Each structure stands twice: as structure tokens, then as C-alpha cells.
Amino acid sequence: MEETFFSSFITSLHSYNNKIIVGLDDGTIRTDEFSFTAHEKEFDTLESVDIPEKVNDFFIVDSGSFHQQFVSCNDKSINVNKVRPNISCIDIIENNYTKESLSYRAECTSSLKNIHNYNIESLSYSNDYFISTDYLRINFWNIHNLSHSYNLLDCKPKKLEEMEYVITKGLLMNDSFSYGTSNGEVFINDLRIKSTNQNKIVIPKSEDLYEEILRMIHDYLIIENNLIIRDMNTVYFYDLRMNDCFNRIIFDGLSIDYIEKHFKTNSFGNFKLSTDKHNFFSGGGEGILYKIDNQYNLFSIDLKSEESLELVCNNNNDLFCSIGKSLMKIDDSYFKEVKKNI
């Protein structure tokens, strides 16, 4: 198992062009080739509070040129940085450089401040458009014209005490956008028709004492006609053609003590899902990493940590995960079967 340590906590994790890229809570984005400051600490004069520089999410736009465009967010701002090699285009074309001598420079080309009233949870990019999602709103942007955005969704009630849920994730895919909620729901909307709810999937309720926090949507994937949902301790598999839950895998790694601790601190984690097209991966409490194969058998690795394992990412055939300041490359042979699907 390969392990890389960073000076700050890893807050976001993505792959691009066969590279793993991390966002950190000190506002930097790092790859194995370069790093740059995407966000700096700011002061919100309206709320009279500091806005931390932590990178909540980011994506990369293929410019078709020699530079890469990074779009990232902290709690209140979206920044666009252009990163390119610090050499001439002629040298790049003629290959007059070595990887060891290559340096990069980053330039912030756009900074969109205070565009959300609530903390920005996620960004999602598709073609030339992306959505930014906070607790109660989803905004729609054209990557080539950031002077304004279109509000796709505003679920803020007239009175906050009437609020039934908050948004936990937004996802943009071709002609549709979707979002998950803290109430165990995923809404899928066809932008060609209208932006109001078209399809609603609700994960099953239980009589558990901690039902309210257990069924909060942490992450989900849409793959062809299938919807894969992760709540606090279960992965659900839905057929979208019938809105039918045809399988569910329950993780056993969350102890009552763990749930009670997070319930008291109002901190429930944000367990991500990832896939290599054959298996699904997700983390758990106390350093557990799970794998679900295409036969719905469950495997796990205990990474011996007291911290939650929230971020997972596939890069071709390689699996990466992070705990705290550590990024780990996982060998598939370490997985042990936990539960066989019957």
C-alpha cells in the first residue's frame, strides 16, 4: 500500500487524465506535478465571519490547449484558475523540456464571491455547463459566461422552521440534473422539459432511533438506467426504469458509539461513492474501506484508523482513498470478503 502525506487535511479528491488531484483545507489544489492556491481565507462583511479557504469541491475543464482550467469552490466563492507550464508553446510543441525541469504557473481568471447564501456543498460539470449546490439552492452556469447564473432550484421555505430537508449533493449529466437530500430522497429532473421535479426516489424508512441521520443521502451515482445511493451505512441499487430498489448492501462498520458521537456533534460525515465500472467503493467509520463487486458481494479493508474514511476515487484500475492528511493507493488483494450475496 502506497501512502502520501500532505501538510493539510484532504477535503476533495478527483482523477483527471490518469492523475489523482487533491483539494486541501489550506486552500491549495495539488497533483504530483504542481500545486497552486485556489482559495484564500476571506472575511464576509455581511455575516461578519471568516470564510475558510478550504476547497470543498473542484473540477477540471479540458481547454484543448496547453493550459488546464480548474474550477473550485469554498463555502461562499467559486474561483477559476488557469494552470499552464511555465515554458513557451514552441518548446512544448517541439518537446524541448524535461519533466524534472518543468514548472507551472497558475492565474486566477475569475472569482465569483458571495454567490450563495449558504455553504456550497458541491460542483458538477457536464460539457460546457456546471451547477453549484448549497444547502437550499442549485445554480446553473455556462463555463464560458460566468457573469450570471440561472437558478434551477430554490427550496428555501418562507419560514426556516418549516424546512423539511437540506440538499446534500447536486449532479449534472447531459440534459438532466439531480440532487439528494437529508431526507433520504433523490430527485431527477429533465432540463429539456422543466426544472421542477420529474422523478423522485425515496430510500426505505426504518424504525431505527437514529433514522433521521442514517438515511441522509451522502452520495449517489447514475450509471445508464441504474441509480446507486449511499446513506450513512447502506448502499442501495435502483432500476430507474421502474424506480425499484433491487438490492441493498448494509455495512456493519458503524458502532452505536460512533453514531451517538456524531449525533451529538451534528457532524455526520460525507461518505463518497466511486466505481471502476466493475466494482463500487465507499468508506466508513473508523477507517473501513468497502468494495461491492458486480455480484453484490461485500468486501472490506480495515485501515486501522479512528477517523472516518470519506473520500474514495478510482483512477483507471487504481483505487485511492484518504483519511485526514493521508492519501493511500489501495491494493485490491487486501480486500477480504465480509458478506456474500445469496
| 8 Å CB contact between 53 and 74 | yes
Rounded Cα distance, 324 and 315, in Å:
20
Tracing cell 467559486 back to the chain, one arrives at: 78
Distance of alpha carbon 261 from alpha carbon 232, whole angstroms: 14
Q: Where are the alpha helices (DSSP H) in 128-220?
A: 211-214
Percent of the chain with pLDDT over 70: 89
Q: From CA 286, how far away is CA 150, in angstroms rounded?
A: 40
Half-sphere exposure of 320 (CA within 13 A, CB side): 20
State the cell numbers at 252: 456493519
Helix, strand counts (H, E) of the chain:
3, 31
Tell me what the mean pLDDT of segment 210-239 comes to.
91
Given a cut of 70, whether residue 260 has pLDDT beyond it is: no
Calculate the average pLDDT of the chain. Answer: 89
Our CA dihedral for 327, 332, 338, 341, rounded to 10 degrees, sits at 120
Rounded to whole angstroms, the Cα distance separating 224 from 203 reads 19
How do residues 41-86 score in pLDDT, each as one tens digit?
988 777 788 899 999 999 999 877 778 899 999 999 999 999 988 7
**Is residue 155 scored above 60 in pLDDT?**
yes
Q: Which of 83, 58, 68 is closest to 313 using CA atoms?
A: 58
Closest CA to 251 of 327, 196, 202, 308: 308
The mean per-residue pLDDT over the stretch 289-314 comes to: 94
Q: Which residue has the higher pLDDT, 125 or 91?
A: 125
In this predicted structure, the answer to whether residue 316 has a pLDDT above a threshold of 70 is: yes
Question: Under the phi-then-psi rule, with left for phi > 0, alpha for psi from -120 to 50, and beta for the rest, what region is 190?
Answer: beta
Could you give phi then psi for residue 261, rounded to 5 degrees?
-60, -45
Model confidence pLDDT, tens digit, residues 181-213: 999 999 999 888 765 667 899 998 876 667 777
Q: Is 287 helix (H, G, I), strand (E, B) or coil?
A: helix
Q: Looking at per-residue confidence, does 270 or 137 come out higher?
A: 137
Q: Could you give the strand order of the β-sheet that contains 185-190, starting from the edge strand earlier in sequence? A: 167-173, 176-181, 185-190, 199-202
Radius of gyration of the chain (CA): 20
Domains of the chain, CATH where assigned: 12-265 (2.130.10.10)
CA distance 120 to 169: 10
The mean per-residue pLDDT over the stretch 94-119 comes to 83
Side by side, which strands form the sheet with 35-37?
A: 10-16, 19-24, 28-30, 35-37
Residue range 251-273: mean pLDDT, rounded: 68
Q: What percent of the chain has pLDDT over 90?
A: 63
Quickly state the pLDDT bin for 38 (edges 50, 70, 90): very high
Please indicate whether residue 210 or residue 107 has the higher confidence score (pLDDT): 107
For 128-150, what is each residue's pLDDT tens digit?
A: 999 999 999 999 999 999 999 99
Average pLDDT over residues 121-129: 95
Terminus-to-terminus CA distance in the chain, angstroms?
Answer: 31
